[in-house]
Amino acid sequence: MKWLDRLERKYGRYAIKNLMLYIVILNAVVYVLMMIPGTNLINKFILDPQLVLKGEIWRLVTYIFIPPNASPIFIIFVLYFYYMIGSNLENEWGSFRFNLYYFLGMLGTTIATFITKGGATPTYINLSLFLAFAHLYPNFQVLLFFILPIKVKYLAWLNWIFIGYTIIFQSVPYKVAAIVSVINFLIFFGPDIISDIKLRRQVHKNRKQFFSEIEKSKRD
């Protein structure tokens, strides 16, 4: 994409290398601190638009450091999985494009939160990272429940179904959150997906025409 190339040439030097590593480390630190009795960092870190407007602007960033709600053992695998996804995307795209993808996800989440007046965690940003990873590496296998090997493309389909269900049946805040969770995905992959669909249609049309001409020649 030419616009991405232009942005990278102009601003590529400002990219944060190993961005996902820093995010995962801070997730781990926050998780450990949350285990201290009386510590409630989620309420301090969550993206709350009303509190941001009152001056707590750190929430525009700190919400991405809120770790998933998981057991101490399971959190290790979850954070490692996040790191693996992010590092592979950065290796595939380069630091600038990965930064842009992640920050577009943050921007979309922030806008959605201010529209709906709700709170936000990095759940949907992480979902968009997974969708990008599954699109680029559809046959990559993970162990579901640490036992069953499954290709990530099948998990991605489940996520797409979940997003579609949310957009159709859930309340407005969830609809908006689900929509913005895929905006960065569509910005990056939408043109290629459309081109691929057009190519498939053309191939199908050509094949159909080819066999039609063969049948016609047989009748003649």
C-alpha to C-alpha distance for 184 and 104, rounded to whole angstroms: 6
Specify if 208 maps to a domain. Answer: no
* pLDDT at residue 220, as a whole number: 60
92: in domain: yes
d(CA 182, CA 33): 31
In a domain, 33, yes or no: yes
Residue 147 is predicted with a pLDDT of: 74
Q: Is residue 184 part of a domain?
A: yes
> What does pLDDT average to in each consecutive run of 10 residues of the chain (220 residues)?
80 90 94 83 87 92 87 85 93 93 90 82 87 92 76 89 86 80 85 76 70 65
Model pLDDT for residues 20-66, shown as the tens digit of each residue: 999 999 999 999 888 887 777 788 898 998 999 999 999 999 999 98
**Is the residue at 217 inside a domain?**
no
**What range defines the domain where residue 43 resides?**
2-195
Q: What pLDDT does residue 218 have?
A: 63
CA dist., res. 47 & res. 60, Å (int):
6
Classify residue 149: in a domain, yes or no.
Answer: yes
* 214 within domain boundaries: no
Let me know: does 177 contact 109? Beta carbons within 8 Å: yes
Residue-wise pLDDT tens digits, 61-81: 999 998 887 778 888 888 998
Q: Any idea of the CA torsion for 197, 200, 205, 211, to the nearest 10 degrees?
A: -160
Residue 135 lies in a domain: yes
Q: How many domains does the chain have?
A: 1
Single-letter code of the amino acid located at 208:
K
Average pLDDT value over all residues in the chain = 85
The pLDDT score that the predictor gives to residue 216 is 65
We report the CATH number of the domain holding residue 58 as 1.20.1540.10
